[in-house]
């Protein structure tokens, strides 16, 4: 495909428009401000060329509506379009965020009920929907933990972070003034209990535990972990970004978690990517309810009202009340599926991940060979040792088969990691064809490794200098001829 500048011809233009109502300026002023077409170096193309150019560019974008998106940890699953239609209802998108309570009763009721649904699903005392996304939810949870100990008069300064946690966890703790300490995993992929016991003192405010962790594994000793943390007066924080693995099967509150942060834009169907929009609700146990962000919704009879009358609150963490449109989509998802449907979501997510794990196990190293949850993590060490083919080569080659590559080189505790999350929405046929592609690449890595190293072979641009692109992300087009 040619650049739009390469199809430019002097004098070509799209359809004429009506006369401009912008005040006229002098030629001298236009030249001085670089307003003239010759100074701006704009391409000159016909309307049909312009439409075709941008339509072809749009087709190069890969999305879940076009193909399988096995991006581990980010849950890029198909989202029912009915939720989009519901969220586009005029009463939802047309209401001003600062509308008086009496004009927003339906919307306030939806927020109130959504908080109650999440509290019931996850076994927490109360939820806030204010945080804008997952990492923001983490920060909100840690702010409440910090506030809790301040009110108690305890000066705890440490937060424990497992080495299989999400990468944003240490940042969330550090932003709240805590020192973070890494907690080792054991050979089973879970928390090293003896290491936890050695680290747990009365200086520790919390353990931030991703469960299931980034290895896709559920913490088998979770009740013992909670007991150790609570035994020293600490709090157990749960990173619930992977909650689609246990909906309807277990509740974090019942397991001893004091805080749980979710991602509506992962677990509850709303689209995400490209920076948003997201939603990162945070649920708390009874001991932390007083510290929830304000304003909070109070129900008086049949009326719903905002209230700031919570003296120990950490305050507001988001303009207005979070990304309301995202909450509407998640609300529709929960209401349409019900409790049985949400349980089925987890069953299918776990089944699909384990199906892929078993199909690919003969071809790629599997560092933790046990039943996984929503995702499975392989290693490309075998391909590196046999032919010098790295995980990044495998990911690039997968593009030629029409698939978006999975997450690679994460989690960090797995060398040459390949993290695959099929989600609950993909069919067996889709999983089979994806596995066939992965198996073909594994064989090709043995028989023709250079072809894998040169991939992708079917894209307009092949291998880029990633180091240079990261250090100097400037794109400059130079006119030739």
- Provide the pLDDT for residue 481: 45
Q: Token pair of 329, please?
A: 């989509």
Q: Give the number of other CB atoms < 10 A from CB of residue 144.
A: 27
CA distance linking residue 296 with residue 44, whole number of Å: 55
Nearest-10 crossing angle of helices 428-447, 391-400: 120
Question: How distant, in Å, are the alpha carbons of 225, 357, 379, 455 from that of 192?
Answer: 10, 24, 22, 40
CA distance linking residue 89 with residue 440, whole number of Å: 46
Buried b (16+ CB within 10 A) or exposed e, 457-469: eeeeeeeeeeeee
CA distance linking residue 9 with residue 42, whole number of Å: 11
Cβ neighbors of 261 (< 8 A, separation 6 or more) are: 131, 134, 137, 138, 140, 141, 237, 238, 239, 240, 241, 280, 281, 282, 283
Write out pLDDT tens, residues 314-341.
999 998 888 899 999 999 999 999 999 9
Write out pLDDT tens, residues 353-410.
999 999 999 999 999 999 999 999 999 999 999 999 999 999 999 999 999 999 999 9
Domains plus CATH for the chain? Answer: 1-60 (no CATH), 81-336 (3.40.640.10), 341-469 (3.90.1150.10)
DSSP per residue, 113-160? HHHHHHHHHHT-SEEE---SSHHHHHHHHHHHHHHHHHHHT----EEE
Beta-carbon-side half-sphere exposure of residue 375 (alpha carbons within 13 Å): 31
Write out pLDDT tens, residues 250-263.
999 999 999 999 99
CA distance linking residue 476 with residue 339, whole number of Å: 53
Residue (of 193, 186, 189, 187) closest to 207 by Cα position: 193
- Provide the pLDDT for residue 411: 92
Phi, psi (rounded to 5 degrees) for 145: -65, -45
- Provide the pLDDT for residue 471: 87
DSSP per residue, 174-202? HHTTPEEEEE-B-TTSSB-HHHHHHH--T
- Provide the pLDDT for residue 209: 96
CA distance linking residue 225 with residue 216, whole number of Å: 18
Cis before 402 (ω within 30): no
- Give pLDDT tens digits along the chain (481 positions): 678 888 888 877 776 667 777 777 776 676 666 555 566 677 888 999 989 999 988 888 887 888 888 886 566 778 888 998 999 999 999 999 889 999 999 999 999 999 999 999 999 999 999 999 889 999 999 999 999 999 999 999 999 999 998 889 999 999 999 999 999 999 999 999 999 999 999 999 999 999 999 999 999 999 999 999 999 999 999 999 999 999 999 999 999 999 999 998 889 987 665 556 789 999 999 999 999 999 999 999 999 999 999 999 999 999 888 889 999 999 999 999 999 999 999 999 999 999 999 999 999 999 999 999 999 999 999 999 999 999 999 999 999 999 999 999 999 999 999 999 999 989 999 999 999 999 999 999 999 999 999 999 998 888 888 888 888 877 555 554 4
Question: How distant, in Å, are the alpha carbons of 136, 148, 154, 324, 453 from that of 318?
Answer: 9, 20, 27, 11, 45
CA distance linking residue 269 with residue 132, whole number of Å: 16
3-state secondary structure (DSSP) of residue 207 = strand
- Provide the pLDDT for residue 63: 79
Q: Give the number of other CB atoms < 10 A from CB of residue 84.
A: 16
Q: Token pair of 395, please?
A: 């990911």
CA distance linking residue 2 with residue 251, whole number of Å: 54
């Amino acid at each position: 495909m040619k650049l739009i500048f390469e199809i430019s011809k002097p004098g070509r233009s799209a359809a004429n428009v009506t006369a401009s109502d912008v005040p006229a300026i002098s030629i001298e002023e236009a030249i001085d401000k670089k307003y003239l077409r010759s100074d701006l170096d704009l391409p000159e193309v016909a309307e049909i060329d312009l439409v075709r150019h941008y339509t072809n560019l749009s087709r190069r974008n890969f999305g879940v509506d076009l193909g399988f998106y096995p991006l581990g940890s980010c849950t890029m699953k198909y989202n029912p379009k009915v939720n989009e239609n519901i969220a586009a209802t005029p009463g939802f998108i047309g209401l001003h965020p600062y509308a008086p309570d009496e004009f927003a009763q339906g919307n306030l009721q939806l927020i109130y009920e959504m908080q109650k649904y999440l509290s019931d699903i996850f076994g927490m005392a109360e939820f806030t929907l204010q945080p804008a996304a997952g990492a923001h939810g983490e920060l909100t949870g840690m702010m409440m933990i910090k506030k809790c100990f301040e009110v108690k008069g305890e000066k705890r300064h440490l937060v424990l972070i497992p080495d299989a946690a999400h990468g944003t966890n240490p940042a969330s703790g550090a932003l709240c003034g805590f020192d973070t300490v890494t907690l080792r995993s054991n050979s089973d992929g879970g928390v090293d209990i003896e290491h936890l016991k050695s680290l747990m003192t009365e200086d520790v405010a919390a353990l931030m535990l991703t469960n299931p962790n980034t290895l896709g594994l559920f913490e088998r000793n979770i009740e013992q972990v909670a007991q150790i943390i609570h035994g020293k007066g600490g709090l157990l924080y749960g990173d619930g970004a992977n909650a689609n693995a246990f909906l309807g099967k277990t509740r974090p509150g019942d397991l001893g978690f004091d805080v749980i942060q979710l991602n509506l834009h992962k677990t509850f169907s709303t689209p995400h990517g490209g920076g948003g929009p997201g939603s990162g609700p945070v649920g708390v146990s009874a001991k932390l309810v007083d510290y929830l962000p304000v304003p909070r919704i109070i129900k008086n009879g049949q009326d719903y009202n905002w209230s700031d009358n919570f003296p120990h609150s950490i305050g507001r963490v988001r303009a207005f009340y979070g990304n309301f449109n995202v909450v509407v989509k998640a609300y529709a998802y929960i209401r349409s599926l019900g409790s049985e449907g949400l349980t089925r979501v987890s069953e299918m997510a776990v089944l699909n991940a384990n199906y892929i794990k078993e199909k690919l196990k003969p071809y790629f190293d599997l560092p933790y060979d046990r039943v996984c949850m929503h995702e499975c993590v392989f290693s490309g060490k075998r391909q590196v040792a046999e032919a010098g083919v790295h995980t990044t080569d495998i990911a690039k080659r997968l593009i030629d088969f029409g698939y978006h590559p999975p997450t690679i080189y994460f989690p960090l505790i797995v060398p040459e990691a390949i993290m695959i999350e099929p989600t609950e929405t993909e069919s067996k046929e889709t999983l089979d064809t994806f596995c066939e592609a992965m198996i073909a690449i594994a064989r090709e890595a043995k028989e023709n490794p250079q072809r894998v190293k040169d991939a992708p072979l079917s894209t307009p641009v092949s291998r880029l200098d990633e180091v240079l692109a990261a250090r100097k992300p400037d794109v400059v087009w130079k006119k030739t001829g």
